[in-house]
A and B are shown apart, each in its own frame.
Chain A
């Protein structure tokens, strides 16, 4: 069985980096990771990953918020059932405001917690192949492949315009 290696390439701009990822995917390499200093939509599209599950958590948080709102407004009104001037004890329009605010509050908190959970933060260890340049002005692509394919991967990366291509033991 052949051993695996990791090829690390750095790029000066996102277009070249995105082109490299597309070319690698076209050549059927799938174990690709990248590091980017900016929230790049081009790179995200090139990776063809499914949409983040954070949105499901936010939906769940929002629904929980509305239900909590209903529970505390309706629940407390019924608990101390006081008729004020013949107005309904469960007055829907003002309660909608509380439900709305709690929907936003719970949805927002779920968004942040969901992001931290799915992105595996706080990260106590540095991701392998991370370099501080990737937080500054360079884009990094890391490809894991068979030793036999390494030369082909390096060629694709160089062709796409990589500044530097390194081969590391996986």
Chain B
């Protein structure tokens, strides 16, 4: 808590503007090297994908019975990451949570780019990607339409709705802030911000309709976010496969999504706070609250693991029990136990208030959670497929270089887009932080304890 002295206890509106605008100053060479690094990895992934499209899915490690592996794992992982952004920006908005204002823009940005990343993976997974539009209903001379009873079609609707709504929500929330930046910039930046701000001037009529539209968007995004990951979980739960066919999947996946997403918010914000110099507005008070969300959802996820195991035992179904035996002690058992350590045990450290405000420790814990949640998705998806009903079919997946490069490229794509955004857009909502500045002041005066 020694760092408390560096931060003015009484920040005003001008301090908010100063800090946020300083973070948007033209970046240096190191930044562009980082962007170039990210997008060269994306380039390598694009070449790998082109190779896969040209040659066929045989270049991946996908073999019967494991036809869903790392691509679908990435899809579910990234959709899950996205969810915490909507939780923070919409659900906590409806609850009027005080610590949300400094964090939500970054979280929402993360949502948009995480869904953008997630949306690529079902396409990458398609053998003939040029027919992806067959998932959507469109008039055609053969009267062929998608099967609306299929969870994959629900998924296409849910994820594309989610992408649209989170992009609209983000850019609508940006309007008043961008108008502020517009007044204080010149050249091409001024043109860009003038266009993005729609000529906003903060008049009473503008605010009146903005407030209503924003509230309703938050109200719509809240059930949406829960529905999206429920639908994603039904991609699995609707199938008869042991290890997938379970009624707890929807709440279990939603909790896991929030858990992994908030951990990713922490992973991004800790270095970003330092690199952009926004420590004054993004205080350990905010991280303390984010850490509490991680802790809570970690406990929910742990409870789900226990319930899942109990249901398997109680069902008395030998096939289901064998699947779980293989999950714990089979060839990928190490991944399951790694997941238990990362998702259930390490987050327990967050019961300590000292660790919650120790950003270095918090960052390391958040990395473990990311690894743990990726493993969870993999264990559920590929693990259950590998050991299906018929032991003579059992086979295990081995990654190919194509799949590894595309997975790495997915992370690079996400980080590259996020890094580009944070340098050119106000990454903290100035208007909302100003509106609730009294809570920030109060937290600072109390030495960052929760008000």
Cβ–Cβ contact B201 & A102, under 8 A = no
**Which residues in B have their C-beta under 8 angstroms from that of A91?**
148-149
Distance in Å: Cβ of B191 to nearest Cβ of chain A: 14
Cβ–Cβ contact A137 & B209, under 8 A = no
Contact of A104 among B17, B154, B224 (CB under 8 A): B224
- With A52-B209, A115-B210 already in contact, the answer to whether A105 and B164 are too (CB < 8 A) is yes
Residues of A within 8 A of B (CB): 33-41, 43-44, 47, 49, 51-55, 58, 62, 72-73, 76-77, 79-80, 87, 91, 94-95, 97-98, 100-102, 104-105, 107-109, 111-112, 114-116, 118-127, 130, 132, 134-137
> For the complex, would chain A's binding face be called helix, strand, loop or mixed by DSSP majority?
helix
- With A97-B231, A119-B206 already in contact, the answer to whether A38 and B435 are too (CB < 8 A) is yes
Q: Once the chains are docked, how many angstroms separate the CA of A168 from the CA of B181?
A: 28
Asked if B179 is at the interface (CB within 8 A of a chain A CB), the reply is yes
Distance in Å: Cβ of B86 to nearest Cβ of chain A: 12
**Which residues in B have their C-beta under 8 angstroms from that of A116?**
198
Sort chain B's interface into a size bin.
Answer: 35 or more
Distance in Å: Cβ of B426 to nearest Cβ of chain A: 12
Q: What 1/0 mask marks residues of chain B from 155 to 185 whose CB sits below 8 Å from any chain A CB?
A: 0011001001100110010011001101110
Q: Whose C-beta in chain A lies nearest to the C-beta of B195?
A: A122
**Which residues in B have their C-beta under 8 angstroms from that of A132?**
183-184
Q: A102-B161, A111-B220 are in contact. List 19 more A-B contacts (CB 8 A).
A: A36-B207, A38-B431, A39-B207, A54-B209, A72-B137, A79-B143, A80-B145, A94-B149, A97-B231, A98-B148, A108-B220, A108-B221, A111-B216, A122-B198, A134-B202, A135-B202, A136-B13, A136-B14, A137-B13
Cβ–Cβ contact B217 & A111, under 8 A = yes
Cβ–Cβ contact B165 & A39, under 8 A = no
**Which residues in B have their C-beta under 8 angstroms from that of A37?**
13, 176, 180, 202, 431, 434
Distance in Å: Cβ of A85 to nearest Cβ of chain B: 11
Q: Whose C-beta in chain B lies nearest to the C-beta of A118?
A: B209
Cβ–Cβ contact A135 & B211, under 8 A = no
**Which residues in A have their C-beta under 8 angstroms from that of B434?**
37-38, 137
Which residue, of A41, A123, A125, has the highest number of chain B Cβ atoms within 10 A? Answer: A123
